[in-house]
C-alpha cells in the first residue's frame, strides 16, 4: 500500500479495513467538477498573490483540466487508498506535473476544501431541484386548464364536504410547490457563502485573497469566521428539511392519486406507462409511481433526522462525523429530482373521469351547506338554517334520496322561505359558481388562480435561470 499523502507523522500505514471504512471516494467522487473548479480558482489566487509562480499555476490549471476530461470520458481510476475525491485528484495531478502539483494545497486544508466543494455542489443541485419543481407546476397548470370545467367532491376527514373544481384541487398543490421553491431559494442563499481560506480551522499564515476566489467562483458572500466556515452544515440540514417538506407534499398527492384511481373512487385513470401489473392477478393495474414516491418520502425524512443527529453534539471545528453529511444529501437530491420528474409525467398522462366525478357530487349531501346558505340569504339565522338543512339531510337518508330529489313541497314543510329556485341554488354548478370569495373554488376565482400561477411560474424561472447562470463551468 502506498503511504497516504498526509502520512508524514505516521510510522505505519493505516489498516486496510480502517482505510476502507473511512474512505468516501465511492460517494463523494460525484463532486469532481466542483473540486476541480475550486482548485483552479485557488491556484489562480495563489499566483496572483505571489505565493506560487505563474508557471506553476499554468501547469496546475492545465493538469486539472486534463483530469476533468479523463473523468468525464470514464478514463480516470479512483482509488480507495486515497480516501476521497480531493486526494484522488491531487495525487493524479502531482503524478502528471510533478512538484507544481504539490504546491496546489498551499494555504488550504481538506476541511475548507471539502466545505467549498459541498457548498458548490449543493448550490448547483438546488437549481436542478427548482427546475424540476417548475416542471411539475407546469404540468399541474396544464392539467387544471385541460379539465377546467370538471366538478368533484371536496373532502374533509376523507368525507365528502362541498363540491369544488378539480382544477382548484390541483392548484392547491401548485401553491405547496411554490412554497417549496421559495424554501429552496432560502437554502441557496445559505449555500452561497464561500468557506475557502478558512484553512483547517484558524485561517492561514499566507497572504491570500479570499475576495478574489469569491468572485472567481461566483459566491455571494464569504464566511467571516474560520471555525464556522469549516464546521457549518446548516445549509445541508436546511436542504434536507426543504426536501422533506417537498416530499411530504408529493406523498399527500400520491395518497390522493392512489385513492382516485382505485375502483372505489375511479376518478382518474393513470397512463399504463406509469403503472405495473400483478404476477398473479391479470386484472391488476397498480399505481407504483405514486406508491414509490409515498414510500421514498420516509427515506428523505430519515436523511434529515440522521443529519440533525450527527451534528447535534459536535464540538467546533471539523470532526470526521461530518463526512456523514454526503451520502444522505446525495441520495435526497437524487430522490427528490426523480420524484418530481416522474410526477410531472404522471400528471400529464392522467385521464380524468368527468362523468364519475359529476355523479359523485350529485349522489351525496355536499350541497347541504348551500341549502343552509340559501335560507340565510332569505333572512334566517345561520344556526337555525344549519338545523333545517340537517333535518333535510336526515329526511333524505330516511327516504333513500338526495337533496336534489326533494320536492318543493317537501322543502316548504321544513321552511316557508324555500322557493322554486331552490333546486338551481343547490346544483353542483351553482355551489361552485357561488363560492367566489378570494381564493375560492368558483370558475372566476380558479381562472384568476391560473393566471397568477402562470405569472408566478415566470417569476420562478427568472430566479432559477439567474442562479443557473452563476454556476461555474470548467472548460
> Active-site residues: which are they?
157, 278
Cα–Cα dist 192/123, whole Å: 7
Q: Is 315 helix (H, G, I), strand (E, B) or coil?
A: coil
- Three-state DSSP state, 415: coil
Residues sharing a CB contact under 8 Å with residue 36, sequence separation 6 or more, in sequence order: 64, 65, 67, 68, 89, 474
Q: What is the DSSP letter of 276?
A: B
Q: State the DSSP code for 154.
A: E
Neighbouring CB atoms inside 10 A of 318's CB total 21
DSSP letter for each residue of 76-133:
----GGG-SHHHHHHHHHHHHHTHHHHTTTTT--HHHHHHHHHHHHHHHHHHHHHHHH
C-beta atoms surrounding 417 within 10 Å: 17
Is the CB of residue 197 less than 8 Å from the CB of residue 170?
no
User: Environment class of residue 270 by beta-carbon count within 10 Å: exposed (0-12), middle (13-18) or buried (19+)?
Assistant: buried
**In whole angstroms, what is the distance from residue 341 CA to residue 136 CA?**
7
Q: Which residues contact 287 (CB under 8 A, 6 or more apart)?
A: 257, 258, 261, 270, 274, 275
Residue 92 near residue 119 (C-beta atoms within 8 A): no
Amino acid at each position: 500500500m502506498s503511504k497516504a499523502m498526509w502520512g508524514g507523522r505516521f510510522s505505519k500505514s493505516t489498516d486496510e479495513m480502517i482505510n476502507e471504512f473511512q474512505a468516501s471516494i465511492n460517494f463523494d467522487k460525484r463532486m469532481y467538477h466542483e473540486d476541480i473548479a475550486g482548485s483552479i480558482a485557488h491556484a489562480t489566487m495563489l499566483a496572483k498573490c505571489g505565493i506560487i509562480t505563474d508557471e506553476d499555476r499554468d501547469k496546475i490549471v492545465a493538469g486539472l483540466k486534463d483530469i476533468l476530461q479523463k473523468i468525464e470520458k470514464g478514463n480516470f481510476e479512483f482509488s480507495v487508498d486515497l480516501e476521497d475525491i480531493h486526494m484522488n485528484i491531487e495525487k493524479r495531478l502531482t503524478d502528471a506535473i510533478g512538484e507544481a502539483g504539490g504546491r496546489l494545497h498551499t494555504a488550504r486544508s481538506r476541511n475548507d476544501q471539502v466545505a467549498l466543494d459541498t457548498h458548490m455542489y449543493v448550490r448547483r443541485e438546488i437549481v436542478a431541484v427548482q427546475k424540476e419543481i417548475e416542471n411539475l407546476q407546469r404540468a399541474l397548470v396544464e392539467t387544471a386548464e385541460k379539465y377546467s370545467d370538471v366538478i368533484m367532491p371536496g373532502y374533509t376527514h376523507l368525507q365528502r364536504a362541498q363540491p369544488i373544481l378539480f382544477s382548484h384541487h390541483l392548484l392547491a398543490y401548485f401553491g405547496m410547490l411554490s412554497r417549496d421553491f421559495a424554501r429552496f431559494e432560502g437554502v441557496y442563499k445559505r449555500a452561497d457563502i464561500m468557506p475557502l481560506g478558512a484553512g483547517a480551522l484558524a485561517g492561514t499564515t499566507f497572504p491570500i485573497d479570499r475576495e478574489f476566489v469569491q468572485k472567481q467562483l461566483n459566491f455571494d458572500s464569504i464566511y467571516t469566521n474560520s471555525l464556522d466556515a469549516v464546521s457549518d452544515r446548516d445549509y445541508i440540514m436546511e436542504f434536507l428539511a426543504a426536501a422533506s417538506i417537498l416530499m411530504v407534499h408529493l406523498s399527500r398527492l400520491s395518497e390522493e392519486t392512489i385513492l382516485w384511481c382505485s375502483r372505489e373512487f375511479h376518478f382518474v385513470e393513470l397512463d399504463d406507462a406509469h403503472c405495473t401489473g400483478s404476477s398473479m392477478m391479470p386484472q391488476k393495474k397498480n399505481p407504483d409511481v405514486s406508491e414509490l414516491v409515498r414510500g421514498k418520502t420516509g427515506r428523505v425524512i430519515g436523511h434529515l433526522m440522521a443529519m440533525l443527529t450527527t451534528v447535534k453534539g459536535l464540538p467546533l471545528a471539523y470532526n470526521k462525523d461530518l463526512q456523514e453529511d454526503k451520502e444522505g444529501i446525495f441520495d435526497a437530491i437524487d430522490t427528490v429530482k426523480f420524484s418530481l420528474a416522474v410526477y410531472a409525467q404522471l400528471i400529464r398522462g392522467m385521464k380524468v373521469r368527468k362523468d364519475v366525478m359529476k355523479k359523485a357530487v350529485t349522489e351525496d349531501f355536499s350541497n347541504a351547506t348551500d341549502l343552509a346558505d340559501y335560507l340565510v340569504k332569505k333572512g334566517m339565522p345561520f344556526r337555525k338554517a344549519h338545523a333545517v338543512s340537517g333535518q333535510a339531510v336526515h329526511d333524505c337518508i330516511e327516504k333513500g334520496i338526495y337533496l336534489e330529489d326533494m320536492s318543493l313541497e317537501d322543502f316548504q314543510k321544513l321552511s316557508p322561505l324555500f322557493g322554486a329556485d331552490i333546486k338551481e341554488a343547490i346544483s353542483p354548478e351553482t355551489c361552485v359558481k357561488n363560492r367566489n370569495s378570494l381564493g375560492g373554488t368558483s370558475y372566476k376565482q380558479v381562472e384568476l388562480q391560473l393566471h397568477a400561477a402562470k405569472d408566478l411560474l415566470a417569476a420562478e424561472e427568472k430566479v432559477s435561470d439567474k442562479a443557473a447562470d452563476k454556476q461555474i463551468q470548467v472548460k
